[in-house]
Amino acid sequence: MLAYLVRRIIFGAAVLVGTSVITFTIAFVVPADPAVAMAGAKADPQTLASIRIEMGLDQPLYVQYARYFDRAIHGDLGRSYIRRESVTRLIADRFPATAVLAGAAMALSLMLGIAMGALAAAYRGRAADNILLVISLALVSIPVFWLGTMLLIAVAAAIRSFPLGGYSGATSLILPTLTLALGSAGYYSRVLHTSLCDAFDQDYVRTARGKGLSRVRVMLKHAMANALLPLVTLAGLDLAGLLSGVVLTETVFNWPGIGRLAAEAIFNLDIPVIMGTVLFSALLIVVVNLLVDLLYAWLDPRIRLAETG
């Protein structure tokens, strides 16, 4: 178990180093001069030169990267060109809003996905199965930002006082959560459906059926236990996709989170913020997947034993 843990942590660290190389490369190919971005277009050559030296832009590339890396592991991601604030600070300020939205969407999509997947599997091969299949394919085909806009249109027409944007209590969370969750729900329902149907053909389910247990009972008690774990792992892996949706959802609903911070930074070519948000997303994904893996190993002894044996 310990060896497994150590290996996972080393891998996670390697992913973050790799990400820092990627973000650094992106920042390097940008045609804009960071010194000009920092000082403004009207700065005189002397000011620019001193900013370049101060920022280390006169150093060789690997020295610049080493500096960037050293600062990043100490939590310093540089300063925003536009807002003149520390990037770490900006991310820390925006993170709670994103965490609330992503957490709520993750929970809702898993609940909806499990319900739809289980229902479809229970009616395998019948009309309800096919209808649920088409619904889930439709859900994964809806563009997130359009779904958000359509919800805005519908709610704006129906309820005058409903919060249509921004972050103001529980009601303001409803539309963005729905927007973000529905696509993933369609995806999870397909995955659960497949693993439940696989389980139905296995001996332990046949035995349980043979004992005279009802179809529904067998599904909930026996097949579900084995089908749910992979789904949780998948949800962890899917976090990268969820964060992509977060960028769009936050843009549509004016949600003050990291996704909108990233979108604004990209719009303004605010390189330190772009690098910071990409790096922070990778950190988030690595940490969440590490936790999911540990949970999985703890819940399923076969993994623990296989890894140590």
Partner 1 sequence: MNIRRLVTLETVGAAMVTVLVIVAIFAPMLAPHDPTIVVAPTFGDPGAPTLAFPMGTDELGRDVLSRIIFGARISLTVGVAAMAVTMTIGIAIGLCSGFFGGAVDFILMRFTDLMLSLPPLLLAMALVAVLRPSLRTIFIVIGLVSWTSIARVVRAETLAMSRRDFVVGAAALGAPSRRLIARHIIPNVLPIIVVMAALRTSDTLLLDAALSFLGLGVPPPTPSWGRMIEEATIYFRTAPWLATFPGLAIFYAVLSFNLLGYGFLRRRSQ
Considering only 267, 301, 302, 309, the residue that binds partner 1 (CB under 8 A) is 267
Selected from 51, 175, 282, 292, the binder of partner 1 by CB under 8 A is 282
Measured between alpha carbons, how far is 288 from 240 in angstroms, rounded to an integer?
11
Nearer to partner 1, 24 or 49 (CB): 24
The CB-of-36 to partner 1 minimum distance in angstroms stands at 16
Q: Is 303 in the site for partner 1 (CB under 8 A)?
A: no
Residue closer to partner 1 (CB basis): 86 or 194: 194
Nearest approach, Cβ of 237 to partner 1 (angstroms)? 7
Task: Tell me the residue type at 76.
Answer: D
Question: What residues from 68 to 127 belong to the interface with partner 1 (CB under 8 A)?
Answer: none
Q: Can you tell me the distance from the alpha carbon of 44 to that of 15, in angstroms, rounded to the nearest whole number?
A: 41
Least distance (Å) between residue 72 CB and partner 1: 16
26 binds partner 1 (CB under 8 A): yes
Least spacing, CB of residue 108 vs partner 1, in Å = 20
Interior angle at CA 206, CA 209 and CA 114, nearest 5? 80
CA distance 153 to 127: 33
- Does residue 59 belong to the site contacting partner 1 (CB under 8 A)? no
Give 146 or 204: the residue with its C-beta nearer to partner 1.
Answer: 146
Is 15 among the residues that bind partner 1 (CB under 8 A)?
A: yes
Give residues 124-183 in contact with partner 1 (rule: CB under 8 A).
133, 137-138, 140-146, 149-150, 152-153, 156-157
CB-wise, 213 or 256, nearer to partner 1? Answer: 256
- Tokens of residue 15, six digits: 């992913």
Residue numbers at the binding site for partner 1 (CB under 8 A): 11, 14-15, 18-19, 22-23, 26, 29-31, 133, 137-138, 140-146, 149-150, 152-153, 156-157, 237, 240-241, 243-245, 247-248, 251-252, 262-263, 266-267, 269, 274, 277-278, 281-282, 285-286, 289
